[in-house]
Amino acid sequence: MTAEHRVRLPGRDIECGEQQSILDATLRGGGWLSHSCTQGTCGTCKVKVLCGTVDHGASPEYTLTAEERERGLALACMASPCTDVVVEPLGVVADDGTPRYPLRDYEGTVTVLDDVASNTRRLKIRLDAAMEFNAGQYAEILVPGTGVGRQYSMANAPSESRELEFHIKRTDHGIATAGWIFGNLAVGDRVSLRGPLGQFGIARRHDEPAILIGGGTGLAPLTSIVRHALEHDLLPELYLYHGGRRRDDLYDGDYFRDLERAHPQFHYRPALSEEIWDGACGLVTDVVLDDFVTCKGLRAYLCGPPPMVDAAVKALKRRRMAPRLVAREEFTASTPVLSSVL
């Protein structure tokens, strides 16, 4: 990519290619900006353009209003510079010691593509070169021939950096899923992706016990967090909740039950909302409410569809968990127009 414009961030100048997003250039250049979805839907990456002009690309109005554009705000994941620019992050980037691994392009070969639950596949990709990442982060997998990339969270521990594991739910008419991963993708195929991305997850030791709540394939980054936390003794206690509607929505139960036997500090509690069984019944967030009289002094990692994550945030608030101890990742759908440039 040819360097076209200079992006000045506090303490760092970065070269940004033509049509490259400010976020992409920053993360590749070893810098850091807060971000979550990298597809224009969450607003976490908002910056103020202090000097110069940007092309807002496909920034949606619901994330970046006309009035905000007027005020010089931009979504770093969607905007690319038209001139040299000076930008200021809106949120303070706290240095909590989390390692920041630079964004890179990767190639790999599909080694596993298995149906593990209803409309859910496990995809493993053996990379040509290892990817360093924090447990909870995700990669953007490029859908061949479309110019489209989709975000999928790593389920493997960061220590297994050569073979990435993903859990993928089929979306009807979806470009990446129905049209490819649940279509003609096969073991042995070559795949392009980029990563790591996102700021959800765990990288250091915490004193508080943790509740992890995942809906559907929201289990993926939580699996990575559990594996990493147990490998490095990062949490004193872990309570993993996996919510589904029916029994065939759940997967990896045997794996987690084995993990429970091997690690007394790990607890696994699957819950079904539309089937009576010998396990927990009801919405996963209601099951958590029943299990905990108070969540004061605990932390949480929440991941899945946005309504489940919102319900979990409310439930934990009712049980008095401190908001600063609640980390969340929402599997939002992409905006209609997505380029392959972040």
Query: Minimum distance between the CB of residue 336 and ligand FAD, rounded to whole angstroms?
Result: 8
197-220 burial, b for 16+ CB within 10 Å, e for fewer? bbbbbbbeeeebbbbbbbbbbbbb
Report the alpha-carbon distance of residue 181 to residue 110 in Å, rounded. Answer: 11
Report the alpha-carbon distance of residue 330 to residue 41 in Å, rounded. Answer: 10
334 is a contact residue toward ligand FAD (CB under 6 A): yes
Which residue number has the CB closest to ligand FAD? 174
Q: Which is nearer to ligand FAD, 36 or 319 (CB)?
A: 36
The binder of 224, among ligand FAD, ligand FES, none, by C-beta within 5 to 8 A per type, is none
Region near ligand FAD per CB under 6 A, out of 106-114, 169-177, 205-213, 270-278 = 169-177
The binder of 169, among ligand FAD, ligand FES, none, by C-beta within 5 to 8 A per type, is ligand FAD
Please give the C-alpha separations between residue 87 and each of 13, 225, 288, 341, in angstroms, as whole numbers: 10, 33, 42, 19
**Bond from prior residue into 305 cis (ω within 30 degrees of 0):** no
Query: Minimum distance between the CB of residue 242 and ligand FAD, rounded to whole angstroms?
Result: 14
Q: What is the DSSP letter of 305?
A: S
Angle between helices 306-318 and 284-291 (to 10 degrees): 20
Angle between helices 219-232 and 253-262 (to 10 degrees): 20
Query: Minimum distance between the CB of residue 44 and ligand FES, rounded to whole angstroms?
Result: 5
Query: Minimum distance between the CB of residue 3 and ligand FAD, rounded to whole angstroms?
Result: 28
151 is a contact residue toward ligand FAD (CB under 6 A): yes
Cα 291 to the chain's mean position, in Å?
A: 27
Query: Minimum distance between the CB of residue 15 and ligand FAD, rounded to whole angstroms?
Result: 26
Report the alpha-carbon distance of residue 312 to residue 325 in Å, rounded. Answer: 13
The token duo for 29 is 């250049």
Query: Minimum distance between the CB of residue 35 and ligand FES, rounded to whole angstroms?
Result: 4
173 is a contact residue toward ligand FAD (CB under 6 A): yes
Question: CA angle, 299 as apex, 208 and 295 as ends, to 5°?
Answer: 95
Per-residue contact flags (x/-) with ligand FAD for residues 271 to 300, judged by CB under 6 A: ------------------------------
Report the alpha-carbon distance of residue 169 to residue 149 in Å, rounded. Answer: 16
Residue with the two structure tokens 């949490």: 235
Region near ligand FAD per CB under 6 A, out of 57-65, 150-158, 185-193, 289-297 = 150-158
| Of the candidate residues 63, 80, 137, 153, the single one contacting ligand FAD (CB under 6 A) | 153
| Of the candidate residues 27, 33, 37, 284, the single one contacting ligand FAD (CB under 6 A) | 37
Note whether 75 and 63 are within 8 A (CB).
yes
Residues at the site binding ligand FAD, with contacts judged by CB under 6 A: 37, 138, 150-153, 166-169, 171-178, 198, 217, 220, 329, 331-334
